[in-house]
């Protein structure tokens, strides 16, 4: 077999594999003409031979260099023809080559002191990035080093297809996005270098990132967030609301970020404005007025949001609003109210906290362009890693600020009362009714999502445990055998179990989509940070990638217990 075809077990892009297989001999000769010199980034050892894994070793050039430097080497590639060319050019590595590839690298075992992944990741589709980096991290020894290179400039790529003139998949991504995904695996960046193309091809430039497997230092971006909370001047609660929205979105929908090459990310202003509706709803619809600004100033969008809350019945109508909005079941009058309110809130966000957040210690933190709120990537990463804890602090300080406004004190508004109102939107109740109704209407045997066994009676399980991830979206709910669900409780399923259950997960997502397409697509879009208009094969894969990535990273961040199914008797 010349190259791996794309199938259930391989995510290799067919056209890319075809190119490397048909051009293997010529490419091996070309690549030998120039070396990036990766050995200079590798650790040194006087008491043992270090082990190196080269993922996507191609022509074998770098593998041979590391072997000459004293490393025990293993190389992998998706193309058997490339491996054959490597073995012919560098006979000493012939017995150390394996025909396998990312994201799973089947057949590669053990751990390594150095992992090299050079010029490979641009050929990997987005939905397989997290799993690729997770696999690299799992194969790296403690204090091991990952040397990772990728193109930052590459002329001739079609922006619509992300393919070059040879039909290779070649996706140019900001280095910050890769750094974010890699650091989520517990690796720390220790070096970033830009390099002209070693083969002197015009217009092509590379970045080389080096990471070490050790605990991340999260102090600096956290200090910036804390400085805004503690030291920034405030005459309204707008800054609290902005930081809370960013923390909330990064914690639960971090894929909503669009990554830029200047070290920033962008989040849709509409998404943030909708979060403000959620947060301010209980404040606006409280029985007695609660000001949100000092010196009798108040939130500029109060009249619009008040009319919206009244149209749904006030404070108790917030759950109805969220349900009706997700189902696109609001009246034309309410649609216009929502649009007007969001427009007013966005104006406030841009003219208020975006313009004025930051101080002499932090500098200006936020900006906006083309409907996006722009924030530094390191702050976004901090929110994604620590957001659930940061949000608690934001809410408490928001409540304290509100309770200390003079007019609120005169009205007898207590901190505890404001805190209760601010917590209203996150005090969701476990709700599996819709998913249960849909599954109950299936006219064929129901399989437990985790065991695959046919069940007569089932529970609806939150794959991401509700106690940790308060989410009742359909993509997170599956029928499970009652005994199996009792085993799982609030544990996180392992990646292996999720992958083994993939087809059943897909099946239930298809069922939800067929029954409630608007709700399912809205929820999936919000979770993935994409605007899905249908549920195609690619959409399903993107959702599964975000689903498995979120479960794995949430469990890692919280030190949660992982769960594998055991035999039920």
Name residue 176's beta-bridge partners.
none
Q: Are 387 and 248 in contact (CB under 8 A)?
A: yes
Beta bridge partners of 376: 264
Picking from 254, 557, 218, 552, the residue whose alpha carbon sits closest to that of residue 382 is 218
Q: Which residues of the chain have pLDDT under 70?
A: 1-11, 215-220, 426-428, 567-569
Instruction: Give the Cα separation of 255 and 266 in Å (integer).
Output: 11
Residue 222: per-residue pLDDT: 75
d(CA 388, CA 390): 6
Beta-bridge partners for 189:
211
DSSP code of residue 6? P
Distance in angstroms (rounded) separating the CA atoms of residues 522 and 254? 16
What is residue 427's predicted lDDT score, i.e. its pLDDT? 64
In CATH, what number does 14-213 get? Answer: 3.40.50.150
End-to-end Cα distance, the chain: 44
So what's the pLDDT on residue 56? 95
Assess contact for 78 and 97: CB atoms under 8 A: no
Q: How far apart are CA 130 and CA 545, in angstroms?
A: 8
CB atoms under 10 Å from CB of 569, counted, come to 4
CATH 3.40.50.150 domain position(s) in the chain: 14-213
pLDDT at 216: 44
Beta bridge partners of 454: 447
pLDDT cut 70: percent of the chain above it: 96
d(CA 192, CA 206): 11
The angle, 0 to 180 degrees and rounded to 10, between the axes of the packed helices 537-558 and 517-528 is 50
Report the alpha-carbon distance of residue 104 to residue 133 in Å, rounded: 10
């Amino acid at each position: 077999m010349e190259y791996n075809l794309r199938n259930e077990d391989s995510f290799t892009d067919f056209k890319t594999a075809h190119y490397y297989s048909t051009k293997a001999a010529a490419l091996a000769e070309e690549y030998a003409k120039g070396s990036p010199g990766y050995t200079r980034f590798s650790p040194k050892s006087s008491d043992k031979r270090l082990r190196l894994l080269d993922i996507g070793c191609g022509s074998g050039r770098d593998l041979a260099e590391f072997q000459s430097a004293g490393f025990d080497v293993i190389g992998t590639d998706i193309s058997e023809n490339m491996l054959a060319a490597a073995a012919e050019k560098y006979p000493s590595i012939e017995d150390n080559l394996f025909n396998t590839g990312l994201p799973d690298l089947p057949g590669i075992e053990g751990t390594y002191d150095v992992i090299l992944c050079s010029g490979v990741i641009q050929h990997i589709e987005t939905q397989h990035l997290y799993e690729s980096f997770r696999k690299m991290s799992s194969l790296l020894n403690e204090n091991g080093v990952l040397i990772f290179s990728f193109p930052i400039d590459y002329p001739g790529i079609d922006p619509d297809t992300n393919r070059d003139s040879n039909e290779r998949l070649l996706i140019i991504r900001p280095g910050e996005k890769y750094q974010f995904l890699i650091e989520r695996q517990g690796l720390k960046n220790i070096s970033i270098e830009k390099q002209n193309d070693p083969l002197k091809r015009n217009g092509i430039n590379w970045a080389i990132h080096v990471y070490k497997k050790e605990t991340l230092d999260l102090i600096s971006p956290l200090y910036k967030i804390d400085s805004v909370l503690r030291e920034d001047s405030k005459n309204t609660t707008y800054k609290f609301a902005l930081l809370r929205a960013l923390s909330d979105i990064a914690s639960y929908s971090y894929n909503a970020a669009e990554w830029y090459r200047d070290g920033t990310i962008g989040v849709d202003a509409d998404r943030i404005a909708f979060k403000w509706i959620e947060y301010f709803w209980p404040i606006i619809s409280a029985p007695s007025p609660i000001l949100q600004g000092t010196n009798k100033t108040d939130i500029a969008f109060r009249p619009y949001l008040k009319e919206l809350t009244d149209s749904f019945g006030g404070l108790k109508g917030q759950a109805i609003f969220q349900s009706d909005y997700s189902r696109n079941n609001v009246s034309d009058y309410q649609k216009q109210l929502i649009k007007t309110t969001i427009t007013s809130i966005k104006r406030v966000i841009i003219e208020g906290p975006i313009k004025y957040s930051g101080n002499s210690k932090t500098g200006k933190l936020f900006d906006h362009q083309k409907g996006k709120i722009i924030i530094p990537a390191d702050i976004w990463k901090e929110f994604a890693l620590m957001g659930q804890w940061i949000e608690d602090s934001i809410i408490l300080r928001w409540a304290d600020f509100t309770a200390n406004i003079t007019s609120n004190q005169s009205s007898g508004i207590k901190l505890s009362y404001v805190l209760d109102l601010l917590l209203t939107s996150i005090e969701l109740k476990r709700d599996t009714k819709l998913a249960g109704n849909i599954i109950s209407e299936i006219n064929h045997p129901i399989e437990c999502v985790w065991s695959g066994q046919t069940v007569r009676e089932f529970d609806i399980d939150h794959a991401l445990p509700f106690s940790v991830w308060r989410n009742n979206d359909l993509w997170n709910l599956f029928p499970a055998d009652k005994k199996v669900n009792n085993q799982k409780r609030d544990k996180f399923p392992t990646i292996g179990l999720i992958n083994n259950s993939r087809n059943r997960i897909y099946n239930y997502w298809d069922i939800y989509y067929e029954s409630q397409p608007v709700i399912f697509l809205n929820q999936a879009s919000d979770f993935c940070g994409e605007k899905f208009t249908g549920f195609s094969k690619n959409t399903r894969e993107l959702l599964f990638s975000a689903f498995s990535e979120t479960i794995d990273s949430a469990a890692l961040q919280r030190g949660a217990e992982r769960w594998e199914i055991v035999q039920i008797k």
